[in-house]
Amino acid sequence: MVNLTLQQNKTNLEQNKKTLSFINSYLTNLSKNPSKASDEIVVYNAGRDPNEVPTVTIASLLQQKENLMEMINEQEKALMFDKDVFTIVHHGAIISKRKELFNRTLFVIPMLFIGLVSLFYFLKYVSRSVNNFVNE
């Protein structure tokens, strides 16, 4: 499970880096070769229709670039720390068994004290009975 998750994170990270490099190269090409027509205006219309394909603008590319950079940072952190997280999760059953054992001891320890106190008073009673029997 750990290996599969790590492999998926690596794959996603590689794909996000490729997409980020594509966006960077596209923006670089746009800055080198700006549009010749100054009267063109590109409007981004997200639209309410889910079947409508959104128009790509420079602002949307920059937003996508920012989102990709955040995802890449999160995925790199996850790759660095996932093994530790999964070992803690993997050993969680042992911790829960300790809790069960701890809950049992919460029941057993008072019963043990009651038993010891009862044994002490019983032995004290037997000792007095033996002493009274010997004295008579």
Could you tell me the pTM of the whole model? Answer: 0.47
**pLDDT confidence of 49, banded at 50, 70, 90?**
low
Does residue 130 carry a pLDDT above 90?
A: yes
CA pair distance 35, 46, nearest whole angstrom:
23
Q: What length does the chain have?
A: 136
The structural domains of the chain, with segments of one domain joined by +, span 1-90, 93-136
The neighbour count for residue 112, using CB atoms within 10 Å, is 11
CA pair distance 81, 85, nearest whole angstrom:
6
Give pLDDT, residue 79: 78
3-state SS, one letter per residue, for 19-39:
HHHHHHHHHHHHHHCCCCCCC
Residues 52-110 pLDDT 10s:
665 667 788 888 889 989 998 888 887 777 665 555 555 555 544 444 555 667 778 88
For the chain, percent of residues with pLDDT exceeding 90: 20
